[in-house]
Amino acid sequence: MLGSAISNRVRAAARRFSTSRSGNVGVMFTFAMLPILAFVGAAIDYTRANSARSSMQAALDSTALMLSKDLTMGNITAAQIPSKAQSYFNGLYTNKDGQGIAVSATYTTPTSSAAATILLSGSGFVKSDFMQLAGFPTLNFSSSTTTTWGNVKMRVALALDNTGSMSQNGKITALRNAVAGTGGLIDQLSALSKNNGDVYISVIPFAKVVNVGSSNYSQWWIDWTDWLNPPTAQPNNGGMGTGSQSLQATLPMNWHAVGPGARCPWSNSNGGFTCTAGPTSTSNVSTIPSSGTYKGYICPSVDYNSHTVYNGCWVSTQVGTTAQVFCSGNGNCACPKNSSGSNVTGCSCTGSGTSTSCSGYIYTHDWTQPGPNDTTHNTNQPRVSAVVGWTNNQWTATNQTPTVLNNWQQQSTNPISNWTGCITDRTQPNDANGVLPVLSDVTTTFPANEYYENGTAYCSSRASTPLEPIIPLSYNWSSLKTAVNAMQPTGGTDQSVGLAWAWQSLLPGGPLNAPAEDANTTYNRVIILLSDGLNTEDRWPVYGDGSSQASGNPIDARQALQCQNLQNARDANGAPMYTIYTIQVNTSTPADPTSTVLKNCASSPDKFFMLTSSTEILTTFNTIGTALSKLRLAK
């Protein structure tokens, strides 16, 4: 061995120095070298002993895991544990320095309050090469491990990026194979389960939103504020924080003169949307329809900032048959224009500056979702109390704020039963925590959304590449695989909403009805978050609209707080409640920077994975699956 050869050479050199008569330098050098060589030699011997011990620990861990699985599956009896332990260990322990290896196994049967355990202990020694000079011919080492099961159960939430960029470089295919393919993560975890409920898995496909399924439209935990309201009452388009920009639309001064045949009062540049031919239509029009079913309907198009569909229109109901003043006291008062650019019929203005006054045919504009006074129609959905006009149907210098509330008392042109299942970020601060929804606090409920981008309503089952619905915790392995294999690349990236619903999927009493937890059972709660890009958009377009992101990366700031809250969550024993793995798939050219928020969100540095090719997705999930299997190792 190398250590023995070095030791022999040192002894020979020392003998030559001790017999030299040419001077005292050699003797002095010899004595000076002895302590140095002793320290170096001790380090070499201890390194060999530590390596032998580390190899023993790894072999014991794997042996304990295999024994627990064999016993659970009925492949061995309790009496066979010692011999089987020795057999497994012998095949796993390959360190050449370790000698005198002895392994013992102790099995403890389960009780009503304690899990079954297998305690493995190992010991051995390493023959020293240098320490024997100091009277230590051997260095002893030992190790142990305990595996426990029976009342330890596992719940794993998979938050998986389904954004459009996942179509590149084979990423979505690699993800499907890694999770739902033969030998993939679902197979690895299902193998740990002897009884139904030992292991649960939830699947959370996410883009800018998640899809909780359109059949949930009657659930009380949905917040319909955004979905039902007109563009002028959209909290999601409001400025977030002091001094931030607001993208919420406002009513024009000449609002009450806008009617059939008038030009659409909005353009993408002044409202984020244009007008369409009717409710739920995606065909843009430049003027308000002057005939047909939707005569006088002012229907906003998809919002170009927030990438959402508005679910209603303003109707135009004429007030009287003579011209009336609709705007005065400001030089910006003007008549609406028709398709040829002329004033609409019957409209004219006089004066200038603060003396300006405009008159024309007057219209009120209710929003076609039931208002507070409607007690007949769509009784299963909330009422819309958004402001829809000015007092006396007139903008004046002293009456600049619209106050008239919606008073639609007919059937909705788009009832909530038509919602396709999209859910976006919760109202702050609950976008960053795991608080359960309560009916008395709308900020704890989950905002419905109609996500529409790239010409596609991604939550619709009719979409060519739909965002697949969430699958709550389940041990129906085939259904889980089917859901994963159905995943398609869709829209923009909001990791936070995927992480939020992964969290919710693990909470008993939440909207996904996670099974109740037994106080006498230990639970390993795990979240795996995979994304192939940086956050680009969320509920608030002032944070990011898919093509740009606000200064300071506010989407990541909210997610960082969310991750801190997850990491700080503790169980009844004060231990971390969740184990978080994060994966960044970085195949872009040039490469994206490392996502700080993903890296810091992982429970520990070894649980963050930076991947540079799609092929690494499979190996990474296999690595995580092996690590999750070893979560059964108690110590």
How far apart CA 476 and CA 421 sit, in angstroms, is 23
Q: Vertex 14, ends 8 and 18: CA angle to 5°?
A: 150
- Co-location of 170 and 129 in the same domain: no
Structure-block tokens of residue 549 = 């992101």
- Co-location of 470 and 598 in the same domain: yes
How far apart CA 93 and CA 336 sit, in angstroms, is 85
Domain-embedded: residue 272: yes
pLDDT confidence of residue 635: 46
Q: Vertex 200, ends 198 and 205: CA angle to 5°?
A: 170
Q: How confident is the model at residue 350 (pLDDT cuts 50, 70, 90)?
A: very high
The enclosing H or E element of 447 equals: strand 446-449
DSSP state of 308: B
8-12, 439-443, 548-552 — most confident range: 439-443
The residue out of 101, 124, 149 marking a domain boundary is 149
Structure-block tokens of residue 336 = 């609406």
Q: Is the pTM of this model over 0.85?
A: no
Structure-block tokens of residue 95 = 């360190």
Domain-embedded: residue 522: yes
How far apart CA 411 and CA 393 sit, in angstroms, is 24
Q: Where are the beta strands (DSSP E) in 519-577?
A: 522-531
How far apart CA 297 and CA 408 sit, in angstroms, is 13
- Co-location of 121 and 257 in the same domain: no
Q: Work out the average pLDDT over 213-232.
A: 96
Question: Could you tell me which residues come within 8 angstroms of residue 111 by beta carbon, excluding any fewer than 6 positions away?
Answer: none
Closest to 425 (Cα-Cα) out of 310, 558, 546:
558
- Co-location of 396 and 428 in the same domain: no
Q: How confident is the model at residue 83 (pLDDT cuts 50, 70, 90)?
A: very high
Q: Work out the average pLDDT over 412-433.
A: 97
Question: Could you tell me which residues come within 8 angstroms of residue 125 by beta carbon, excluding any fewer than 6 positions away?
Answer: 98, 99, 100, 138, 139, 140, 141
Q: How confident is the model at residue 216 (pLDDT cuts 50, 70, 90)?
A: very high
Please write down the long-range contacts of 34-38, taking CB distance under 8 Å and 24 or more positions apart: 37/10, 37/130, 38/130, 38/133, 38/134
- Co-location of 528 and 409 in the same domain: no
Query: Looking at the predicted structure, is the pLDDT value of residue 389 above 80?
Result: yes
- Co-location of 179 and 276 in the same domain: no
Domain-embedded: residue 279: yes
Q: Work out the average pLDDT over 287-301.
A: 97
Number of H helices, E strands in the chain: 12, 23
pLDDT confidence of residue 484: 98
Domain-embedded: residue 438: no
The residue out of 363, 395, 419 marking a domain boundary is 419
Least confident of 9-23, 87-101, 299-313: 9-23
Question: In this predicted model, what pLDDT tens digit does every residue of 459-480 receive, in sequence order?
Answer: 999 999 999 999 999 999 999 9
Question: Could you tell me which residues come within 8 angstroms of residue 463 by beta carbon, excluding any fewer than 6 positions away?
Answer: 456, 457
Q: How confident is the model at residue 7 (pLDDT cuts 50, 70, 90)?
A: low
Q: Are 236 and 394 in contact (CB under 8 A)?
A: no
3-state secondary structure of 432: helix
- Co-location of 264 and 205 in the same domain: no
Comparing 42 with 577, which gets the higher pLDDT? 577
Cα-Cα-Cα-Cα dihedral sign, residues 281, 286, 288, 293: negative
* Percent with pLDDT over 70 in the chain: 90
Domain-embedded: residue 544: no
The residue out of 149, 171, 197 marking a domain boundary is 149
Query: Looking at the predicted structure, is the pLDDT value of residue 330 above 80?
Result: yes
- Co-location of 255 and 180 in the same domain: no
**DSSP of 325-375, one letter per residue?**
EEEESSTT--PPBBTTSSBPTT-EEES-GGG-EEEEEEEE--BSS--TT--
Q: Vertex 129, ends 125 and 132: CA angle to 5°?
A: 80
Range of the domain at 85: 2-149
The enclosing H or E element of 186 equals: helix 185-190
- Co-location of 492 and 408 in the same domain: no
pLDDT confidence of residue 101: 94
pLDDT confidence of residue 71: 82
Q: How confident is the model at residue 31 (pLDDT cuts 50, 70, 90)?
A: low
Q: Work out the average pLDDT over 438-458.
A: 96
How far apart CA 320 and CA 327 sit, in angstroms, is 17
C-alpha pair distances (Å), 458 with each of 308, 423, 451, 516, 531:
11, 12, 6, 32, 18
pLDDT confidence of residue 9: 56
Question: In this predicted model, what pLDDT tens digit does every residue of 105-150 receive, in sequence order?
Answer: 999 887 655 667 899 999 999 998 777 767 788 999 999 998 876 5
The 10 Å Cβ neighbour count of residue 277 is 16
Query: Looking at the predicted structure, is the pLDDT value of residue 25 above 60?
Result: no
Q: Vertex 147, ends 145 and 151: CA angle to 5°?
A: 150
Q: How confident is the model at residue 270 (pLDDT cuts 50, 70, 90)?
A: confident
- Co-location of 163 and 144 in the same domain: no
Chain center to CA of 518: 27
Domain-embedded: residue 245: no
Q: Work out the average pLDDT over 536-563.
A: 90
Domain-embedded: residue 99: yes
Q: How confident is the model at residue 551 (pLDDT cuts 50, 70, 90)?
A: confident
Question: Could you tell me which residues come within 8 angstroms of residue 477 by beta carbon, excluding any fewer than 6 positions away?
Answer: 186, 187, 190
Q: Work out the average pLDDT over 95-100.
A: 92
pLDDT confidence of residue 605: 96
Q: Are 158 and 528 in contact (CB under 8 A)?
A: yes
- Co-location of 400 and 309 in the same domain: yes
Question: In this predicted model, what pLDDT tens digit does every residue of 150-160 receive, in sequence order?
Answer: 567 999 999 99
- Number of structural domains the chain divides into: 3
DSSP state of 65: H
Least confident of 64-68, 184-188, 210-214, 464-468: 64-68
CATH number, domain of 168, equals 3.40.50.410
Chain center to CA of 395: 46
Domain-embedded: residue 38: yes
3-state secondary structure of 49: helix
Q: Work out the average pLDDT over 13-27.
A: 55
pLDDT confidence of residue 33: 57
- Co-location of 530 and 590 in the same domain: yes
95-104, 301-310, 358-367, 530-539 — most confident range: 358-367
Q: How confident is the model at residue 2 (pLDDT cuts 50, 70, 90)?
A: very low
Q: Which amino acid is at 535?
A: N
Q: Which amino acid is at 536?
A: T
pLDDT confidence of residue 474: 98
Mean per-residue pLDDT over the chain, rounded: 90
pLDDT confidence of residue 106: 93
Q: Are 547 and 573 in contact (CB under 8 A)?
A: no
